[in-house]
Amino acid sequence: MFLLHKPTAETIRQFIGAQETLPFAYAEVGATRQETSVAGYTVDHNRICLGDGEQTYQRARKALQSWQQFDLGWVTVVPSSANVAVGTTVAVQAHTFGFWSLSAARIVYVIDEPAPVKRFGFAYGTLPDHVECGEERFSIESHDDGSVWYDIFAFSRPQHPAVRAAFPITRRLQKRFVRESLEVMKAAAQR
């Protein structure tokens, strides 16, 4: 959904309500578990070392649970208080090129593994009213050497006609999101 003004809380509530019972917009639900290419989609995999130690892991986990990886100024998740749980539906709110947009997504699965690599994270998949089509996984990992990593793995393709027409610009925005998300998580893990 594209808008000329910032969406109100009521607009967001209605948007999410209309999307939360709809099926995913793609057939490969859960495919981000394997970290392999998905035919017909652009695959992106990005990682950053956040530091080391249990405190760094816990700070990063808390940041991920509160959607801080989206707190970038021009993009955010609404509602920001949404629980990280299978089935939770959210909207990604973006402000680019003078327009506002809402894109619906639902959490597909949650990761909470104590070993062999301690990991916490989740993946969300796109719903019919999303500018893209695909799935994105966000995770925090703590390795045996004490290093803590933030990892983003996604496969996507344009879904909205305007996004398909502006694919090179869309790819730049996706890369900007990744770069800024890595930076904000690095900062959150150091606080």
Give 114-145 pLDDT, tens digit per residue.
Answer: 988 999 999 999 999 999 999 999 999 999 99
Judged against a pLDDT cut of 90, whether residue 191 lies above it is answered with no
User: Is 86 within the bounds of a domain?
Assistant: no
Q: pLDDT above 70 covers what percent of the chain?
A: 100
Average pLDDT over residues 84-99: 96
Helix axes 167-190, 54-65, angle to 10 degrees: 130
pLDDT tens digits along 49-78: 999 999 999 999 999 999 999 999 999 999
Q: Would residue 16 count as lying in a domain?
A: no
Tokens of 121: 């994270």
What is the rounded distance in angstroms from the CA atom of residue 21 to the CA atom of residue 158? 22
Where in the sequence is the domain holding 154, given as residue range(s)?
A: 42-73+105-190
55 located within any domain: yes
Q: Tally the domains of the chain.
A: 1
CATH number for the domain that contains residue 180: 3.30.530.20
Q: Tell me, yes or no, whether 98 lies in a domain.
A: no
Q: CB–CB of 26/133 below 8 Å? A: yes
Give the pLDDT of residue 103: 96
What's the whole-number mean pLDDT along residues 101-105?
A: 96
pTM of the model: 0.94
Res 16: pLDDT: 98
What is 64-120 written as a DSSP string? HHTTGGG-SSSEEEESTT---STT-EEEEEEEETTEEEEEEEEEEEEEEE-SSSEEE
pLDDT for the residue 165 = 83
Where residue 123 falls (left for φ over 0; alpha for ψ -120 to 50; beta otherwise) is beta
Question: 178 CB contacts (<8 Å, ≥6 apart)?
Answer: 44, 46, 152
Span 9-19, pLDDT tens digits: 999 999 999 99
Report the number of secondary-structure helices (H) and strands (E) in the chain: 4, 8
Residue range 156-167, pLDDT digits in tens? 999 888 877 888
Greatest alpha-carbon span in the chain: 49
Average pLDDT over residues 88-104: 96
Domain assignment present for residue 69? The answer is yes
Q: Tell me, what's the pLDDT at 188? A: 96
Does 123 fall in a domain? yes
